[in-house]
Amino acid sequence: MSHYTSTEIMTVTAARLLSNADVCFVGIGAPSAACNLARLTHAPGITLIYESGTIATRPSVLPLSIGDGELCETALATVSVPEMFAYWLQGGRITVGFLGAAQIDAYANLNTTVVGPYDKPTTRLPGGGGAPEIATNCGEVFIILKQTKRGFVDKLDFVTSIGHGRGKGDRERLGVTTKGPTQVITDLAILRPDPETRELTVVSLHPGVTRQSVVENTGWALKFAPTLDETPAPTVEELEVLRALQARTRAAHGQA
């Protein structure tokens, strides 16, 4: 078995959730790495869409932002941002939204706006961008982020994107008909919403990770499925493709 980092298993595990048939709205950062790894391995036919309007883009390096020229140069088509949101996203044409976040709570609500009080935050984050619309309009949402007490909090400092509100039925009460977050992939585990309560529940631990280490990195009383799976380790091919993608990215951005 090849040696791998906690970030690598997080990225590989997230990539495996995607299929050839998916039309995926991709967030910058960890979501972008996972989605492009899927495209370069088991899902070459996946359609990747970025917020700037690039459709079926096939970047050879990971973009620094949605405005990266690599996305437009390798896209099948580029449409205006209003068309991307009004026709593609709000029109229900996107199967999966892939998001990161600074904070997440027990019901997969996300904060990408501020840490601390809104008027005088300790940290001002990049903001919502298209994430609130992605969270409500994509068929389902996958979330990827590292598991720490700073990120997995009992109460968000600001709700940027709704997950499951405060539990089952909250999305429906707001008139939202999509599934919302169905998978949360971290560097320690996989979590899914409980079918009855919608509270995030650990369903799989990554190899070598203990229940206690997951609990210690979560800011609420975390629940576990009755039977826990062990996440399959990354394959040699998955690691080779991911590392080559990251090496190309570093070289392109002058970090090699």
How do beta strands 23-26 and 96-99 pair? parallel
Residue 112, SS3 per DSSP: coil
Which helix (H) or strand (E) segment holds residue 103: the answer is strand 103-104
Q: How big is the CA angle at 239 (ends 237 and 242), to the nearest 5 degrees?
A: 105
Residue 121, SS3 per DSSP: coil
Q: Which of 51, 133, 199, 238 is catalytic?
A: 51
- Whether 51 is catalytic is yes
Supply 112's token pair: 């990408």
The amino acid occupying position 239 is L
Count of alpha carbons within 13 angstroms of residue 7, beta-carbon side: 7
Residue 199, SS3 per DSSP: coil
Mind telling me the catalytic residues? 51
